[in-house]
Amino acid sequence: MKQSNLQKIQNQIRDKFLKQGIKMVGPETIFFSKDTKIGKNVTIEPYVVFGPKVKIGSNVVIKSFSHLEECNIMNKVEIGPYARIRPKTILKEGSKIGNFVEVKKSIVGKNSKVNHLSYVGDSDIGKSVNIGAGTITCNYDGVNKNKTKIKDNVFIGSNSSLVAPVTIENDSTVGAGSVITKKVNKKSLALTRANQLEIKNYKRKKK
C-alpha cells in the first residue's frame, strides 16, 4: 500500500475519534489500527501507537511514547509515558502503568500501580498492589514461561526479582532488593539480603 494511502487511512481514523470527543494532543503523531476501540473522555498524548486488537475504556489517559497491542484497558486507567503494553494484558479499573514499564500477558488488578522501570510478564496481580521501581517478574527459565501471582494489598519494594512460579499472598510485603523464590505467606514481610559489609579507612587503588 502506498504511503499516501496509509496516511489517508490514519487521518480518517483520527477524524473519527476526534468527532467522538477523544482528546488528542498532536493527532498527526498518533497511529491507530483499524480495529482500535475507544470509550468516552479519553486523552491520548503525542507519539502513541496502537497495534491490533486494542480496546480502551472510558476516562483513560495514555501518555506520550507508549505502545499498545492486543490488550484490554478498562476505565480510569493511566498509562505511560514510555510504556509498552503487550498482548493478552488486562489493566483493570483505576490501575496505573508508569514510565518505562512493560506488561505482557498479565492482569493488573483494580487500583494497582506499576509506576517505574519494571517488567511484569505472565502475572496475575490483585487489587491495590504497589510494585516498586525496578521490580521484575522472572517468568522464563529458558524452556517454559512461568506464572507469578500477587494477591490483594501487596507491597513490592523497589529492585525486587520475583522468580516464577511464585505466589505472594494477601497483605504481604517484599523488602526492597529481594530475590523471591518461594511463596510469601499472608501478612508477612519477605526479605532476602546479604549483610552489609563496611571496611573502615578503605583506600582505593590508584593507577
Residues classed as catalytic? 116
**Integer Cα distance of 38 and 57 in angstroms:** 6
Q: What SS3 class is residue 49?
A: strand
The CB density around residue 2, as the number of other CB atoms within 10 Å, is 7
CA-based nearest residue to 62, from 106, 31, 108? 31
Side chain identity at residue 162, one-letter code: L
DSSP string for residues in 60-75: -EE-TT-EE-SEEE-T
Report, in angstroms and rounded to the nearest whole number, the Rg of the chain calculated over CA atoms. Answer: 20
Encode 104-142: b = buried (16+ Cβ within 10 Å), e = exposed: bbbbbbbbbbbbebbbbbbbebbbbbbbbbbbbbbbeee
